[in-house]
């Protein structure tokens, strides 16, 4: 899968201080670096990661997501994830890390719940 591509589209949320990172493509060892950069460069108080268009995530992607959670938590910022595919949700559940995330069915619900 070395030719996998991921596009990250950033938009502002419906509330002040929110930023939405919409991922498009798999979150894998081949695409995590741009994801990590996008999270690191974001300075808003609340970051919502939209997984609606992420069909697959491997263990490296899972590690990058956990790393994003840790980095934002250390900076006293919020992280929410939304729109998880059933396979991606199963990976989070199976690895027992879903408990560390605020997970919402849709981006709209996340925007309403996150400061």
Rounded Cα gap, residues 103 and 98, in angstroms:
8
Residue 2: is its pLDDT beyond 70?
no
pTM: 0.92
- What are the pLDDT digits (tens) for 74-109? 999 999 999 999 999 999 999 999 999 999 999 999
How many DSSP H helices and E strands does the chain contain?
A: 4, 5
Q: Cβ distance 86 to 56 under 8 Å?
A: no
Q: Which candidate, 68, 50, 35, 64, places its Cα nearest to that of 104?
A: 50
Q: Indicate the CATH number for domain 7-113.
A: 3.30.750.24
Predicted confidence band at 64 (pLDDT cuts at 50, 70, 90)? very high
Give me the pLDDT at residue 3, please: 54
Rounded Cα gap, residues 2 and 45, in angstroms:
33
What are the structural domain ranges in the chain? Answer: 7-113
């Amino acid at each position: 899968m070395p030719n996998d591509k991921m596009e990250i589209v950033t938009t502002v949320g419906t509330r002040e201080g929110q930023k939405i990172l919409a991922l498009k493509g798999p979150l894998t060892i081949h695409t995590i670096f741009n994801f990590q950069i996008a999270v690191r460069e974001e300075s808003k108080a609340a970051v919502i990661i939209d997984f609606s268009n992420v069909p697959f995530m491997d263990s490296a992607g899972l590690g990058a997501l956990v790393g994003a959670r840790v980095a934002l938590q250390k900076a006293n910022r919020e992280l929410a994830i939304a729109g998880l595919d059933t396979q991606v949700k199963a990976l989070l559940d199976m690895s027992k890390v879903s408990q560390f995330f605020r997970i919402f069915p849709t981006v709209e619900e996340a925007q309403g719940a996150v400061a």
